[in-house]
Every structure is written in structure tokens, then in C-alpha cells.
Amino acid sequence: MQLATWNVNGLNSRLEFLLHWLRERRPDVVGLQELKLEDDRFPRLELKAAGYGCLVHGQKAWNGVAILSREEIQPIQSGLPGQDDLGARLVSAATAGITFTTVYVPNGKSVAHEDYPRKLEWLDALAQWFRDTQDPTEPHVLCGDFNVAPSALDTFDEARLAGKVHHTEAERDRLRALSDWGFVDAFRSRYPDRRQYSWWDYRGGAFHRNLGLRIDLVYATAPALARMQEIEVDREYRKKKDGLIASDHAPLILTLE
């Protein structure tokens, strides 16, 4: 069984690219982020034709998250409680025998911007939601664009970027709170020393020069992690396909037994 996460950077612009990827990779469950469209504009018919049901928490022009699944989707939560002012950034469901949650964490812009402390509050609220409502002894996968590089190994230039947004200890502490609850960073558990990124700026040839960040993460509780066979960044789908322009993020695919 394959589970995936992907920030598509606008589904209106990326639908044909997404359908191309779904045909080629055929994942079972997918978390999408940064849809940039409302629920009623989500392309349910096209995705149904591709074999997927959908659970959508959208927003006009900004944010938005969705779960696609080949199996029945039972909704659990749409929107992070108490954080509605920061937009549509969380959706959770039971599907394919697991609880699957996908998130689009606020960017924060810069440590001097008012959005930065709100980002930290959002991450605090995320950890609290898991503590209040979920059970770490159950199989649970949390994935998405976290807008945090978890460690120096996850950024192309820690020396220059340390202390800046995505690279602060305060942000990294919030990820550790998720680990304290019971989540494990699946990629890092599999590849403790590998330097591999999931996001590259469109500018300056960053992708071809491999100047990126690992900010798209998959966390799993112990029962889910025990089933892990592989996890990989699908770097091929950060490249153009048949003239279609890719997102600035690559998909991340977790394979379970």
C-alpha cells in the first residue's frame, strides 16, 4: 500500500500534472496541500474517473487540503480547532485501515513578521489536537507541507539560514512535540544520514543545483511505522512532464506492507 503527500501549488494549474502522476504511480491514499480553490470547485469528477474518492477542505485562492483514496473515506476532522483564522490547513480521515491526516502548516514569512508567532501557535494547536483526540497506539499517518526543515541535514545551507524562518529552534521544537506524542519522522527513521530535499525554489536553477529543503514530511505512529517498506521523494515529478509545469514541491511516497 502506498501513501503519499504533495503540495501541488495550485490545483487549477496542476490538475493534468496530478492526473499524470496518479496514472503512473497509482498511490492508494494521497494528501494534497495548497489547493487554492473552494470545495465546490474541486475536480471530483476527474478524480473519480481516475479511481479516487475525495475529502476536501478548500479555500478560495489560498491554502486548502484534501485526501484522495481508492477506499472508503470516513471523515474525522476538517480544519484545526481554534485556528480557523489561518485558513483551511488540516483534514483527517479513516481510510485504508489507518487514520490519515494531512496538513499545510503556515509559512510564517519571517521571524520578524506577525505570522511567525501565529505559525508557532498553529503547530502548538496541532500537537494539542493529537493529545486531546487521537491515540498513538493506533496506526496513524500525518503528512504534509510543514514549512520547517527538521534539522541541519534537511537544508542546503544551515550555516546561512539558521535562525531564519523554517530553520528556527522554536519551529523545530514544535516538531519534537509531535515526536513526544508518538510520531516518528518516517523518512529520517529509514535514512538517518541521507541529505534529500522535497522543495526547491523555482528561481536561480535551484532544482538543478539541488539547493532545496526537506519540508514535506511523513510522520507515522509505531503500528504504521512497523509496516514501512520504503519511503522516497518522487523527484521525477518535480520535473516537467509532457509540457506540464511541475509544482515547486515533489511528492513523497510511503510504502507500507
Residue with cell 509540457: 243
Closest listed residue to residue 106, CA positions, set 66, 79, 146: 146
What's the pLDDT at 46?
98
Residue 109 backbone class (left: φ over 0; alpha: ψ -120 to 50; beta: rest): left
What's the pLDDT at 127?
98
What's the pLDDT at 172?
98
- pTM for the whole thing? 0.98
Which residues lie below 8 Å from residue 94, measured CB to CB, with a gap of 6+?
73, 74, 76, 100
Hey, what CATH class is 2-256 in?
alpha beta
Residue with cell 509505531: 222
- The H or E element spanning position 114 is none
Rounded distance between C-alpha atoms, residue 255 and residue 257, angstroms: 7
Strand 216-220 versus strand 2-7 pairing type: unpaired
Domain parsing of the chain, residue ranges: 2-256
Residue with cell 515547486: 248
Neighbours of 117 (CB within 10 A): 12
Bridge partners (DSSP) of residue 231 are: 254
Kindly give the confidence (pLDDT) of every residue in the chain, 257 residues in length, as a single tens digit, with 9 standing for 90 and above. 999 999 999 999 999 999 999 999 999 999 999 999 999 999 999 999 999 999 999 999 999 999 999 999 999 999 999 999 999 999 999 999 999 999 999 999 999 999 999 999 999 999 999 999 999 999 999 999 999 999 999 999 999 999 999 999 999 999 999 999 999 999 999 999 999 999 999 999 999 999 999 999 999 999 999 999 999 999 999 999 999 999 999 999 999 99
Cell of 1: 500500500
Q: Are 255 and 27 in contact (CB under 8 A)?
A: no
Amino acid at 112: A
What's the pLDDT at 23?
98
